Amino acid sequence: MDIPHTEDLEKQQPTMITNSGFLDQLENECEALAHYAFSKGITVPGNLMRLLNSGLSEEQDVRAHQVTDIYNQLSELVAPAKPQTILLMYDENKKAPPFLFLGSVPLIRRMMAVALVSLFSLIGLSLSGAVNNENMVASMFDLQGTDLLFVQAILLAASAIGASFAGLFKANSFVTQGVYDPKHESSYWVRFVVGLISGITLTQLIPINLDAVAQSTTDMIAVDTNSEANHAAIRITTALLGGFSANLVYNLLDRIVETLKSFITPKKVQNPAVLRQQLENQYRKEKLQFVTQLSQELLLIKQELASDDEMCKDKMQKRLTQYLDILVNGEKNIPAKK
């Protein structure tokens, strides 16, 4: 019998260690899935837990088959929750970071921190004397120095509150359902930055009639307030809405671009060949409808002749006259029966 060389054993050993480590990882995921199922009140078969606790084989192949079978059954039990999300929350609970109460996944905690910083920044900036009704209503091109800096900062803070609120609401719904995917974390931060841009764009670069908005708001809430104060509040609220719904600003800008494009771009002239084909198709369609109508009328006359062998000459003449009207006018005009 051939004795394997030392080099061959060294090549085989990393593979065995890797397989063993992967099985250990699967066992850890099975433990997380079982913990999640029990916490949600899902019935877990006792044989699965008994096998997972102390019934796994020492042989790699048999153990791999057992762990895979347990993993698949537990995944079906916790569906539609994803095992990746469950494992992430399970590991976070085991690590017990200091700010775990803010969220069970890192994204929620980071975005919660950004939202709190934005909220405190909004409150702190509002204490400055530079943030007043006159400066808030003024355009960014009418201000300068620290006044402009404080106004833009408070609008940016309002936009950040709206953007973080939208991101938190969306991410929390996925985490609650157990379908949150960590690989999409960057997309939430992209939406957050886009929300900041949208808030500033909507409040500073897109002209909005604050008088009309303030009047409609006052009429809606039926409160007699200072119009200038309404303008400042509307400016802050607009920044918050711009951060919350970046799609709103995108659609608004896209509509403006399409409108300008319609004035600049000349109207396309339809291809004569395509127009001719459309007219021919329309003619064939109308011709088919007309022939079908004539065929139906002839069939009715034939049925009347078959059912009434003694049809008088006047009645026959009347039916032929009606048929002639269809040929000439293209419309059926039959008097109502008495």
Q: What is the 3-state secondary structure (H, E, C) of 225-244?
A: CCHHHHHHHHHHHHHHHHHH
**276 and 249 housed in the same domain:** no
**153 and 113 housed in the same domain:** yes
pLDDT at 24: 76
**109 and 246 housed in the same domain:** yes
Residue at which a domain ends, from 241, 264, 287: 264
Residue at which a domain ends, from 264, 289, 312: 264
**11 and 72 housed in the same domain:** yes
**75 and 22 housed in the same domain:** yes
Confirm whether 91 is domain-assigned.
no
**68 and 128 housed in the same domain:** no
Measured CA distances, 224 to 209, 221, 227, 230, 258 (Å)? 19, 9, 9, 10, 39
Confirm whether 87 is domain-assigned.
no
pLDDT at 86: 85
Q: Comparing 127-131, 191-195, 293-297, 301-305, which segment has the lowest mean pLDDT? A: 301-305
Q: Comparing 23-37, 166-180, 206-220, which segment has the lowest mean pLDDT? A: 206-220
pLDDT at 193: 93
Confirm whether 94 is domain-assigned.
no
**42 and 155 housed in the same domain:** no
pLDDT at 1: 44
Q: Comparing 141-145, 261-265, 310-314, which segment has the lowest mean pLDDT? A: 310-314
Highest mean pLDDT pick, 76-80, 149-153, 221-225, 286-290? 149-153
pTM of the model: 0.62
Residue 229 has pLDDT above 70, yes or no: no
Q: Which domain holds residue 284?
A: 272-329
Number of domains in the chain: 3
pLDDT at 213: 61
Peptide bond into 207 cis (omega under 30): no
Confirm whether 84 is domain-assigned.
no
CA distance 98 to 113: 13
**253 and 290 housed in the same domain:** no
Confirm whether 39 is domain-assigned.
yes
**209 and 126 housed in the same domain:** yes
CB 243 within 8 A of CB 160: yes
CA distance 168 to 61: 44
Whole-number average pLDDT of the chain = 78
CB 100 within 8 A of CB 93: yes
